[in-house]
Amino acid sequence: MSSVLFTDAETKFRDEVRKFVGSELAPISDEIERKEDFMLIRKFIASMGKKGFLGSCYPAKYGGTEKGMAYEIIVAEEVSAVNPGTDMSRTASTLFYSMPVFKFGNEEQKKKYLVPIIKGEKIGAIGITEPDVGSDTAGMKTKAKRDGNDYLINGEKRFITNGSQADLLCVFAITNTNVHPHQGMSAFILEKGMRGFTVVKDYELLGQRGAKVSHLNFENVRVPKENLIGKENDGFRVLMDELDRERATIAAQALGYARTPFEVAIKYSNERVQFDKKIRNFEGVSFKIAEAATKIEAAKLLTLQAARMLDKDMPATKQATMAKMYATEVAFEVANDALQILGGMGYTKEYPVERMLRDSRLMMIGGGTAEILRFLIQREVYKEFGY
């Protein structure tokens, strides 16, 4: 089916990425999980930069390969199939942080704050979520006040992937308190080491171990006006533009989370014997395999559709949201069924299934909860019918 969905060039690219991930990431994946060592992730991301795997969505003059989202989702799936936390860290840097800088930043900002990310020399992060702000960005409390040629940023951000490790952050803050936050929000580039910028803590997570998800505090952080992304009070547009690509990419990551336990379950069910039969011959097992295969293919189609539309600069909010909602739920369901097929062995660390189950659970929350995504999808559907 992949030969129908993907071009020969895309298939060749997937083979290259899979081989690279197999030789460079797979040998250290267990160590990343066990030690939760971000330096291993950082080194791997740097090696990806040298291979040109970080710049699919960016022009050559910034170090990119100009291949587009269809190639980005291939990278996301292949890395996630081996180590989900690593790709969560990668995409937070090379897509979620970088896309706002690329789409809305000026040339000086792109050269200074985008190129090193695409090369893998630096790590980025995006700061949106706060203790009182999750799905409702209108409740944002972080403020940025103009002070001469600078802005003073005060507030805090929570659940920021790469937050404690990032060299550069795209941080959203309210710059006009007299209007609705969506009309008074701005985006800024912050650099690690700026006075008043502190890491409160890194959270201990159920899954995605190795990735760092942080609580950050900003106390009179002085940011030059040159670090404003786009125009003042235009930050909500910057934020919304990034989300469609984020959701399509998370959907692709979910395909990786689903693929690994699915393949393990197929192999195990073909080898495990009970009652003198391979357990694949019992419908309680084989029907789970059939359902998982169908769900994965459907998720793949939704994800690729969103990527193709984004590559054509078509509105893709509904498609990216559908892909993210469906693929992330499929990943959890497939991993859970795979664990059931393996039985007691699935609950051990002898197989990667229990890890993928834990890793996949986050993605029904991050990047838009499953509930919010359903709300967004129905809203887009009614719009299409003129209501």
DSSP 16-73: HHHHHHHHHTHHHHHHHHHH--HHHHHHHHHHHHHHT-S-TTS-GGGT-----HHHHH
The CA radius of gyration of the chain, in Å to the nearest whole number, is 21
Residue tagged 């969560």 (tokens): 88
Task: Give the residues across from 143 on adjacent strands.
Answer: 154, 174
pTM for the predicted model, two decimal places: 0.96
CATH class in words for 2-123: mainly alpha
Longest dimension (CA), the chain: 80
Q: What is the pLDDT of residue 2?
A: 52
Q: What is the pLDDT of residue 99?
A: 96
Q: Quickly list H helices, the chain.
A: 2-5, 8-24, 26-35, 38-51, 69-80, 84-91, 98-104, 107-109, 115-118, 235-271, 283-311, 317-342, 353-361, 370-384
Residue 259 three-state SS: helix
Active site residues: 246
Mean pLDDT by 10 residues, the chain (387 residues): 81 97 98 96 98 96 96 98 98 97 97 98 96 86 96 97 98 96 96 96 96 98 97 93 92 98 98 97 98 98 97 95 98 98 97 97 94 97 96
How do the domains of the chain map onto residue ranges? Answer: 2-123, 125-233, 237-384
The CATH number of the domain covering residues in 237-384: 1.20.140.10
Tell me how far apart the alpha carbons of residues 178 and 251 are, in angstroms, rounded to a whole number.
Answer: 37
3.30.530.20, 3.40.109.10, 2.40.110.10, 3.40.50.2300: CATH of 125-233: 2.40.110.10
Tell me how far apart the alpha carbons of residues 121 and 115 are, in angstroms, rounded to a whole number.
Answer: 9
